[in-house]
Amino acid sequence: MMTTAPESDATPTTGAREDGAPAASFSLTPIDARKRAEQVRDSLLQLIREGQLKHGDKLPTEPQLSAMFGVGRSSVREAVQSLVGLGIIEMRRGRGAFVSRVSLNDLVRMVDGAVRLEYGAALQLHEVRAMIEITGARLAATRRTDEDLAAMRAAIEEYGGYPVDAPNEALVSSDLAFHRAVIRAAHNEMLNQLLGSISGLLRQHRRQYAAANEPALRSDVVGNHESIYEAIERGDARLAASRMQRHMRTIWAQIEALAIHEDDALLGGQSYLPMYDEDDE
């Protein structure tokens, strides 16, 4: 995270408000080469949390931020974009990037120990999740029992029944309960264990993208879960797999919007999960 340094060791800079009034001055020290984009993002968040950057303040330009932090412009761009995805920064056409109106509680909810999505790690986790869940949905359609269907239905109704101001953790638990019910309905203990082995990371990621997207996310989640449930109930394995993969795509789009894109040659030119076939619907 960014730390304030003595004036002799730091580069002072001043944000500018949209109306032209100067914002608070603050000092920054160049950050090291490790995970540059993540550190730039965390430094900007620290400035906002400390009140050095306030609602309506215009961020320094991309070249200015690059010079201030001692990093390349691509790292600055990725850091700012991740904050745009969280709703903390907003881009105004022709004017630049500005701090959005966000309460301290919102900031703590979205940021505290949460904004840690690195693109490579997020992609690898989601690839594994997609393989488990798409296969699980296909198997569940041919193996599910009435009890399995009841568990899925209960999870859908619980999630959809929460009020608008429901605690985020309750929504996360209810959402993931549906996915666990689908895998249990596959009646493959190895699949169940595989999902369990990554459940902690899935919960962490779900907290992160839900914090930024929850209001719009909820109707999509309910609709996706209902469509998957319907296919499994009908015993249509191909349709269940197709609808689950569509749901996985939706989830990835939400995660990708917040992820820090570090350079990684191993990821090649693929921006999304290459094992997906076209939808069967």
Q: For position 233, which CATH number holds?
A: 1.20.120.530
d(CA 116, CA 104): 19
Which domain range does residue 55 map to?
A: 7-111
DSSP state of 23: E
As a whole-number percent, the residues of the chain with pLDDT over 90 amount to 28
d(CA 176, CA 183): 11
- In the three-class reduction of DSSP (H, G, I as helix; E, B as strand; rest coil), residue 49 is classed as helix
| Mean pLDDT (whole number) for 102-119 | 52
d(CA 247, CA 228): 9
| Mean pLDDT (whole number) for 197-211 | 74
pTM higher than 0.75: no
Domain-embedded: residue 276? no
**What is the pLDDT at residue 154?**
96
| In a shared domain, residues 123 and 246 | yes
Domain-embedded: residue 2? no
**More confident position, 153 or 113:** 153
CA 253, 257, 263, 269 torsion: positive or negative?
Answer: positive
| In a shared domain, residues 52 and 99 | yes
Residues whose CB falls within 8 Å of the CB of residue 98, separated by 6 or more in sequence, listed in order: 18, 56, 57, 58, 59, 89, 90, 91, 92
Domain count, the chain: 2
